[in-house]
Amino acid sequence: MTFAAMAAGCGSDKMPVAQLPEIDTSNPLLAEWDTPYATPPFDRIELAHYAPAFETAIACSRAEVEAIVNNPARPTFKNTIVPLERQGALLNRIAGVFYNLLSADTSDEMQQIALEIQPKLTELSNDISLDPELFARVEAVYKHPGWGLSLEDKKLLEDTYKGFARSGAALSDEDKELYRQYTTELSALTLQFGQNSLAATNAFTLNITDPKAVAELPAFVKEGMAAEAKARGEKGWTVTLQHPSYLPFMTYSSNRELKEKLWRASNSKALGGEFDNTENIKKIANLRLKIANLLGYDSYADYVLENRMAENAATVNAFLAELLDATKEYADKDYRMIADYAASLGFEGELMPWDWAYYTEKYKDEKYALSDEVVKPYFKLENVKKGVFMLANKLYGLNFTPDESIPVYHPDVTAYDVTDEEGRFVAVLYLDFFPRASKRAGAWMTEFRGTKTVDGAETRPLVSLVMNFTKPTETTPSLLTFDEVETFLHEFGHSLHGMLGQGTYESLTGTNVYRDFVELPSQIMENWATEKEFLDLWAVHYQTGEPMPAEIVERIVAAQNYLAAYANVRQLSFGITDMAWHSLTEPFEGDVEAFEVASMAPTQVMPVVAGTAMAPSFTHIFSGGYAAGYYGYKWAEVLEADAFSLFKEKGIFNREVADSFRENILSKGGTEHPMKLYVAFRGHKPETKALIDKMNLK
């Protein structure tokens, strides 16, 4: 066996493996990575390397699993559960590179490779989870675990057994074949859904050549639009459906005709047309229902929520209803307040969704003198980054040093060595800030490698933050909106969860926690964005270097609950429609748009616009991991509101509180039940009241 194979994980961890595939070490995905910290050698990886690397890695995984199954010794935790956790290291390494780049820097060729590889990965997953001999060994250990298992060992054993049971291992042979069929189809459909959503986003642009149509726009908006037009070989000014392009135009333009066109395009992405996702939605929802029924659940939500902090659909629905009941009337007041304000400025008729950003920005500027134009000069991206790094240092003693020796996958990306107060290596952090056609919309944290410890040797994580922030222009650096500052802090919170993880088993470290718990470390970080003590340390004008004036900081603090009820109900609407799609108990063959209107009706604040729907581009639930889980954002808001109150009480940079949060939340990963971890930090269970109080509704 070559050292490269062992380094990558094929037959590693002293596992006896028969019939190992031959390793082509000329393929950089299969060779030993001699880069700093064994980071991916992006500069050497070509598209042609992926398919053969996946084929080899899949063969490796099969050989590793076969070795576990054929072990003649009595099943034990060490000879069955641990090697099962360790198998697939090579495959995970390759998939970590490929699927992260598929989202962050894709191409038509990569998307085609994904369509070809995905069925093979699903087949492998099914072959492992549905292997009766393998499950028999796992079940034997689960029933008779033996002595000497640590708390972490016991959690891995429990998760492994449940993972098999929830993946069809206990089904009849006939039902196993159905499970294979359903999951294979579902895997392909969710991948296609995401590709359609990205294609629909990129397919629409609005090019403006009349100077009068952009005359009123702030300079930073016009510069961004001009740069977009130039990059596309167009004259004038161009708006796309990418958030940093779309939102500024909607916010500052008074041209209702153009804004309505943009809004309708944005809110009907993949609803009909060349990249239609409506049939995919029906098929995805129905396949998920079939899988749930096959496994003995009435709905897909029942299946998903069994392994969540909330535990069941009844709890989730009651939680969403409680928040809606407490805030809906205030959200309606928010809408009426803005509508009345628009009328006072001469607006006639019904305030429509495409009017909202314009008038809410004008109202905020009038009431708080806090338009984007006021704050953006103090939020130069480099300064925001400095502030975020400073916060991590004050709370957790982390230091961030750019490392140009680490290969990156795109010129926009910067890699950082992350070290602790003693100078010990903690992680590599990649930062990728700006939108491009090859990157999907939104912002996210991901990993190229997680944390684990094998034979006393610890592997530290490679963490990546991918965002879509306002681009610099030829004359102006990247200046962030306040929302973008909050987004940076949010995603950075996820990265802290990944970077500060400790543990033996990768599947239990970092962000590998219940989906409705994973947003706590991210959402709590947003609180610092409205803390004067924090802003005073780094928020300076990008041209003069003058600190952000105290009155602007005070306005930011005063405005932190501006339209809070409306924003809350909007988020609830997403969670409620998600639950509606995944609480189906009968196959769905109806109209996607009509279903969305009905499911969102209790949360409706704005007028309903025919011919639009968010579901066809709702990638979180139809191609991501948030199916029957979008409520988790609000769930985590309750957790963070309660958790941050301790920082407010003790001091926002208090190391004692930060150390406790690190010890009980960030470092523990999924080694214990999240409620136990939360109570260990806070001293009591969270209450919904904490979030309602934080919104300060009046």
Question: Which of 361, 447, 484, 491 is labelled catalytic?
Answer: 491
240 and 138 in a common domain: no
The SS3 of residue 9 is coil
Final residue belonging to a domain, choices 213, 239, 266: 266
- The domain total for the chain is 3
- Examine residue 287 and state whether it is found in any structural domain, yes or no: no
Residue ranges with strand state E in 287-443: 399-402, 414-419, 425-432
Q: Is 174 in the active site?
A: no
Percentage of residues of the chain with pLDDT beyond 70 = 97
If 0-12 CB within 10 Å is exposed, 13-18 middle and 19+ buried, where does residue 429 land? buried
- pLDDT, one tens digit per residue, over 243-293 is 989 999 999 999 999 999 999 999 999 999 999 999 999 999 999 999 999
DSSP 11-38: T-TT---SSPPPP-TTSTTTS---SGGG
Sorting pLDDT into bands at 50, 70 and 90, what band is 12? very low
Sorting pLDDT into bands at 50, 70 and 90, what band is 694? confident
60 and 141 in a common domain: yes
Sign of the torsion angle spanned by Cα atoms 41, 406, 419, 522: negative
What are 542's two structure tokens? 């990008």
If 0-12 CB within 10 Å is exposed, 13-18 middle and 19+ buried, where does residue 546 land? exposed
β-pairing, 444-449 vs 452-454, is unpaired
Say what the pLDDT of residue 19 is: 61
- Give backbone dihedrals phi and psi of 416, rounded to 5 degrees, phi first: -125, 140
Contacts of 363 (CB under 8 A, 6+ apart): 337, 338, 341
- Examine residue 43 and state whether it is found in any structural domain, yes or no: yes
How far is 489 from 160, CA to CA, in rounded Å? 33
Is the confidence at residue 228, as pLDDT, over 70?
A: yes
- pLDDT, one tens digit per residue, over 89-128 is 999 999 999 999 999 999 999 999 999 999 999 999 999 9
| Residues 665-688 as b or e (16 or more Cβ within 10 Å = b) | bbbbbbbbebeebbeebbeeebeb
Is the confidence at residue 16, as pLDDT, over 50?
A: no
490 and 383 in a common domain: yes
- Examine residue 610 and state whether it is found in any structural domain, yes or no: no
Final residue belonging to a domain, choices 247, 266, 285: 266
Is the confidence at residue 516, as pLDDT, over 50?
A: yes
Top-confidence residue, 382 or 220:
382
Helices (H), 204-277: 219-231, 243-252, 256-266
215 and 88 in a common domain: no
Say what the pLDDT of residue 430 is: 98
| Residues 118-133 as b or e (16 or more Cβ within 10 Å = b) | beebbebbbebbbbee
228 and 161 in a common domain: no
Is the confidence at residue 627, as pLDDT, over 50?
A: yes
422 and 543 in a common domain: yes
- pLDDT, one tens digit per residue, over 486-503 is 999 999 999 999 999 999
Is the confidence at residue 617, as pLDDT, over 80?
A: yes
639 and 494 in a common domain: yes
What are 298's two structure tokens? 């009435």
251 and 154 in a common domain: no
Say what the pLDDT of residue 351 is: 98
What is the span of the domain harbouring residue 89? 3-170
CB neighbours of residue 483 within 10 Å: 12
Say what the pLDDT of residue 4 is: 32
- Examine residue 273 and state whether it is found in any structural domain, yes or no: no
Say what the pLDDT of residue 441 is: 86
For residue 134, give the amino acid letter.
Answer: L
131 and 219 in a common domain: no
Q: Residue 413 maps to which CATH number?
A: 1.10.1370.40
- Contact call for residues 359 and 347 (beta carbons, < 8 A): yes
- Examine residue 597 and state whether it is found in any structural domain, yes or no: no
For residue 413, give the amino acid letter.
Answer: V
β-pairing, 425-432 vs 462-466, is parallel
How far is 355 from 349, CA to CA, in rounded Å? 11
217 and 126 in a common domain: no
The answer to whether the predicted template modeling score (pTM) of the entire model surpasses 0.85 is yes
Which residue's entry shows tokens 């950082």?
A: 416
216 and 153 in a common domain: no
208 and 60 in a common domain: no
- Examine residue 8 and state whether it is found in any structural domain, yes or no: yes
CA distance to 468, 517, 521, 537, 672, per residue, from 679 (Å) = 35, 13, 15, 32, 12
- Examine residue 260 and state whether it is found in any structural domain, yes or no: yes
